[in-house]
A and B are shown apart, each in its own frame.
Chain A
Amino acid sequence: MTNSRRSVRTDTRVILICSGKGGVGKTTLTANLGISLARQGLSTAVLDADFGLRNLDLLLGLENRIVYTAQEVLEEECRLDQALVKHKQESNLSLLPAGNPRMLDWLKPDDMQRIVDMLKEQFNYVLIDCPAGVEDGFKNAMSASQEAIVVTNPEVSAVRDADRVIGLLNTNAIKPVQLVLNRVRPKMMANQEMLSIDDVTDILALPLLGLVLEDEQVIVSTNRGEPLTLNSVNSPAAKCYLNIAKRLQGEDIPLIDPAEESSGIGAKFRRLMQTKIF
């Protein structure tokens, strides 16, 4: 640390990004939200709490720059700023791996709390990329969080698992808890072959922070290790991630209407068929 005066921030937001079910898009959201917030000039740390199967480094293109993890910091083998990996293009963003796959069960809720407390001293945002499931990995990550974003897909199993997680977040007084609905396919929704936005928000009874459209570019960006919000800001999913970051900052950005995303006469017809009669 360059200045000896440690300005302890009290306004740091520590946000858990969780889902219950695996593979619904937590890590992709964490990476893109991290970039977007950093772009807004907010110093942001992304903490990879999924160290059994860590991926956040890959999505951010930082996999070759990791030397230390939170474990070495806690054991005082290195300083925090040595373990933090700064993003190449977006210097407001830093990655901290909680551990590596060889140390599966060293991390306890206390360790998590200590690491997050250290991060709070220098960042506006701490985003915690949570492992799937509702077991110890999730509980450790939750123990150090204040608020949460639950990621889900418009599919029965993802929604069911999200509900379990929401129950646990509620009993642990994590709030606010907000919802991100990922992999929305407007056409399928219009044909009523996919749970609608209202279906999911009604069932889970959570405020919707945003939806993310299904977008092939997500895969392309993962291949490159460059989140969409970094270089492909015009892709459909990138716009969604940017909106989510703005809403998180309190901006009032209207939701995209998935029905508007598909246009033409087919879409008009589908909208007509969606009209509620009674």
Chain B
Amino acid sequence: MAMTLRDIINKLLRRQPASASTARERLQLVLAHDRSDLSSELLDQMRKEILEVVAKYVEIDVDEGAVSLETEDRMTALVANLPIKRTMTGQIKLKEPKDQSEENPQGAEGTDQNS
């Protein structure tokens, strides 16, 4: 997000940001939803199901997980932010695959941001 000299001064003085940047941010949010026709309930349902699937393979921080819509240039992206828990040594905590599939789900490595 671009910052102008005025934004910085406002921040330093703990003043409210100029209203244009508030307008811009609010518009971007509301348009992402308008354009997708997805209701917030549907988005929430999707978030839950995505979390369930990912939680089958890696331990994630369920409370921190968020799924949102972001828009740029009339393209809307579904952005899932799923923080993966790490072990003390910094390794990603993989779960033991419960089903018969032999493949170890390595795909999750490091990609805690997907779009």
A residues whose Cβ falls under 8 Å from a Cβ of B: 155-156, 159-160, 163-164, 167, 189, 191-196, 199, 202-205, 272-278
Contacts and interface: CB of A to CB of B under 8 A. Distances in A.
B5 A274 contact: yes
Contacts of A273: 4-6, 9
A194 B18 CA distance: 9
B73 to A, nearest CB: 5
Given A192-B18, A193-B19, A277 B27 contact: no
B31 interface: yes
B2 interface: yes
B2 A276 contact: yes
Nearest to B21: A192
A160 B18 contact: no
Interface string B60-92: 000000000000011000000000000000000
B98 interface: no
A164 B34 CA distance: 8
B23 interface: yes
Interface in B1-50: 2-9, 18-21, 23-24, 26-28, 30-31, 34-35
Given A160-B30, A277-B3, 5 more contacts: A192-B7, A195-B27, A199-B20, A199-B24, A276-B4
Contacts of A205: 73-74
B20 A195 contact: yes
B18 A191 contact: yes
B4 A274 contact: yes
Nearest to B71: A203
A201 B96 CA distance: 50
B37 to A, nearest CB: 10
Contacts of B35: 163, 167
